[in-house]
Structure 1
Amino acid sequence: MTLVDLTTPAARSSRLDGLPVAIIGAGPIGLAAAANLVERGIDFVVYEIGADAGASIQKWAHIRFFSPWRHLVDPASRRLLEATGWTAPEATGLPTGGEFVTAYLEPLSKLDAIASRIRYGVAVDAVSREGMDRTRSAGRADTPFLLRITDADGVQEVTASAVIDASGTYLTPNSLASSGLDPLGLSAVAEHVSHALPDAVGRERDRFAGKRVTVVGAGHSAANTLLNLAALKREVPETQITWLIRNASAIRVTTSEDDELIARTAIGKRVDRLIATGAIQQLDRFEILRLAPIDGGVRLIGQRAGELVEHDTHVVVNATGFRPNLDMLREIRLELDDIVEAPARLAPLIDPNVHSCGTVEPHGFAELRQPEPNFFLAGMKSYGRAPTFLLATGYEQVRSITAYLAGDIASATNVQLVLPATGVCSTGTSGSSCCS
């Protein structure tokens, strides 16, 4: 497969004239792409599956960010907002997901130049080329993209000149099973399995209070959930909390002392103290094989130290991380890393075995380009299964991509990024999180 020329945008024919850029997702990265396209004078349409901007973030609205506001606002979005009299929150503040949406994403999404171009309640089911599957090459770059979408009116198809997929990964969690496949028996106990970052102290309190709760996962999504459950336990002492991890320790939750994101460092220390006092029971080296229903709950069946073991619980929280939905891109030509499923040129820069959030090098369209001209993965989805994404990284990605689409190659290649110094890190949600 031939990649696009780095010196000029993919050739644009009359068949593409008048067609908008399609942005998938109205989260922080999708809206940042929209803001950059507004400044470039390029038409676009944003397709958002939720009813509002930042719909995925609203699901973990109670969780506080690691990063302060100064790292959370996209520069182009800031310029558009400030032109309307908007004032940025205090730079050092640490917002919750809900505060982030209310103070930033909502006003951004309601700007006239952006609001008129967002279609809510729309699922993008597939992306292809008009009249072409992935095997046809002749005239491919000059052929409009075809997006099959589902909305309140049913299934439709729309066209676009380029596609920026910023749909995130929150809706596609990793499996509870160590194999990466859904564990056997999942369908029989699905009602007892919770999504990541449940609001255990607030709106979902009744599901967890006084119950045996098992949190599966070794990252910061798991750690945040454990802290919330510990707060619930102080109110309802009958609540029992188990932290189940596959390895001997949860190294990603242990951050270095020189981590600029102090809030993240504090999370690991607080979890350690709760384990030491017995408020949380840690069950390590547990490889889940299958699930089975029991009265009022679920039995986790797995291996530990080579032996078959069982663990009974009322509720399982799946905090094992997330993966990109690539099924919708089956007819798009992609070049992805075999391991983390990130764009092949980006993968070495974000390898979680080597890099933390703060050591990722600046990157843009050149690292994100695909054999499919003018198609880009951006934001958390561009990181595949790597858990080291920060919002500031995604903002620079879409700034570079939109400059490229505008033909401004000098700006597109001049990528710059200032990230906080960090230790080992992981994020827990769609592009920003309990974490970003």
Structure 2
Amino acid sequence: MKTFPIAVIGAGPIGLAAAAHLLERGLEPVIFEAGRTAGAAIEQWRHIRLFSPWRFNLADAAVRVLKATGWESPRLTALPNGGELIDNYLIPFAATPQIASRLQTGARVIAVTRQGMDKTHVRDRDTTAFVVRVEHHGGETRDHTVAAVIDASGTWSTRNPVGTSGLPAIGETTAGNRISSPLPDVVDRDRSAFAGRRVVVVGSGHSAANTLINLAALAKDEASTCILWAVRGASAEKVYGGGEADGLPARGQLGSRLRRLVEAGIIELHTGFGIAALKNLDSHVEVEAVDGRTIEADVIVPCTGFRPDLEILRELRLDLDPAVEAPTELGPLIDPEFHSCGTVPAHGAKVLAHPEKDFYIVGMKSYGRAPTFLLATGYEQVRSVAAALAGDQESADTVHLELPETGVCSADAGTSCDVPPAVTTGSQEPEPGCCAAPEPARPGFRQVRKPAISA
């Protein structure tokens, strides 16, 4: 087993940080990235500005490698957007000799299993190598033998459907050509797809708010642009937030701006609009609510959140929380029904472990359907996992997490805490005690006391 490398699935911030920690431990990573470059998923939302500043978005192990190349750190208190995260951090790190020689791009993992056995076999399972089946650019499919697997593939490729009950709306697949990406750049890159069109934004999180406000900016130049907003709830008050009283000023400003746009009639709000069906017509798509109401759209923006792709892991023995599809011990700590983001305690290999020895899901995917992941959390996850795989259990179990004082309380069904609205600028300082209120216990689980986020 020691002669085989350790597979890292995904070359986003967490996957690359995992590789850096493995190298520091004297372990050999091989990184499989489905996109053509590192950070390919982030490239889709490069226009989005993060809530958390640079100092919480850089992995220590990666920084140590970069500094040896003469890399200059960005200003640590600045708030980067996705493009800056890629251009000033991920791409330079991926280009270092240590990473470039171990990174395979255009390499989509399609399955993970144990060599010579499916999930029903147990004898010698823990000492049998893994097989990672990869579809490489050009169409060639190869099996790679590895000693361990760290799945940092994220959730970007598997958005939640726009239909209710967790299922796609009837006709949603057929209407796919009318559905945009979850975070389109409506003002710049994707402008032509939205200018002068009738656009329906679906969702009640900050991703929806961001898109709606940017569409309103587009409509100033393209007066024929029509903006509709469909939410399942009876009102949009959750999205509007606390306005000027909000503990996060930028978040409060976002909600206040959105409220004004709705009240001015620039955005047409449809509440209680759980989508049942989409009917793709020649010139538009008809969106039908559960109660029979209909609206017409040229384009639908699905700000409905994400879920993990578990299909590639079907032959592994996983232990997942039944609600959020995170590792069982992590699930109760992050369930958005009961917990706010920014209050999850530090956790590592022990919490992330599965019955499948030496297999870990990390990063955004480790949170399953919970939307409140922070990059800083993921960096501590992979530090601990690398220590566990190196046999340093004491270091693996000693976890700590310095959470940002900015932007950690923005729970959103459409994005993680590290993917906030593009309109957010400047520093956002929460009031003392933000997210510190005790949460109700999740049914069937004991209450877990968690640290508050404060200055």
Deviations 1:157-207 (A, max 9, x none): 111111000000000000110021222112332111111011111121111
Asked if residue 296 in structure 1 is aligned to residue 283 in structure 2, the reply is yes
Query: Which residue is 2:297 aligned to?
Result: 313
Aligned length: 418
**How far 1:243 moved relative to its partner?**
1.3
**How far 1:261 moved relative to its partner?**
5.5
Residue among 49, 58, 67 paired with 2:52: 67
Q: Is the 8 A contact 1:253 1:424 kept in 2?
A: no
Identity %: 50
Query: Which residue is 1:272 aligned to?
Result: 259
Amino acid at match of 1:168: G
Amino acid at match of 1:369: A
Q: 1:434 to 1:407 in 2, by over 3 A?
A: same
2-side partners of 1:126 and 1:433: how far apart?
28
Tell me the TM-score normalized by structure 1. Answer: 0.92
Deviations 1:113-163 (A, max 9, x none): 111100000110010000010010010010000111101251111111110
Q: 1:258 to 1:132 in 2, by over 3 A?
A: farther
Amino acid at match of 1:160: V
**How far 1:318 moved relative to its partner?**
0.9
Residue among 179, 193, 196 paired with 1:210: 196
CA RMSD of aligned residues (A): 1.9
Amino acid at match of 1:269: S
Query: What are the within-5 Å matches in structure 2 for residues 5-16 of structure 1?
Result: 16=1
Amino acid at match of 1:298: V
Query: Which residue is 1:226 aligned to?
Result: 212
Query: Which residue is 2:39 aligned to?
Result: 54
**For structure 1, which segment, 380-389 or 414-423, has the greater mean C-alpha deviation from structure 2 after superposition?**
414-423
Amino acid at match of 1:117: R
Q: Is the 8 A contact 1:189 1:297 kept in 2?
A: no
1-side partners of 2:258 and 2:142: how far apart?
48
Residue among 135, 149, 152 paired with 2:134: 149
1-side partners of 2:346 and 2:359: how far apart?
20
**How far 1:254 moved relative to its partner?**
4.8
**How far 1:373 moved relative to its partner?**
0.2
Query: Which residue is 2:223 aligned to?
Result: 237
Q: Is the 8 A contact 1:126 1:328 kept in 2?
A: yes
Residue among 93, 96, 99 paired with 1:114: 99
Query: What are the within-5 Å matches in structure 2 for residues 93-132 of structure 1?
Result: 93-132=78-117
Query: Which residue is 2:435 aligned to?
Result: none
Amino acid at match of 1:299: E
Q: 1:380 to 1:177 in 2, by over 3 A?
A: same
Q: Is the 8 A contact 2:372 2:417 kept in 1?
A: no
Amino acid at match of 2:261: L
**For structure 1, which segment, 132-141 or 221-230, has the greater mean C-alpha deviation from structure 2 after superposition?**
221-230
**How far 1:40 moved relative to its partner?**
1.1
Q: 1:259 to 1:26 in 2, by over 3 A?
A: farther
**How far 1:244 moved relative to its partner?**
0.8
Amino acid at match of 2:277: R
Asked if residue 180 in structure 1 is aligned to residue 166 in structure 2, the reply is yes
2-side partners of 1:265 and 1:40: how far apart?
44
Tell me the TM-score normalized by structure 2. Answer: 0.88
Q: 1:253 to 1:93 in 2, by over 3 A?
A: farther
Query: Which residue is 2:235 aligned to?
Result: 249
Q: 1:120 to 1:348 in 2, by over 3 A?
A: same
Deviations 1:387-436 (A, max 9, x none): 11111111110011001111111111111112135435227457842369
Unaligned runs of 5+ in 2: 423-455
Q: Is the 8 A contact 1:217 1:245 kept in 2?
A: yes
Q: Secondary structure at 1:186's aligned position in 2? A: coil
2-side partners of 1:176 and 1:183: how far apart?
6
**How far 1:294 moved relative to its partner?**
2.9
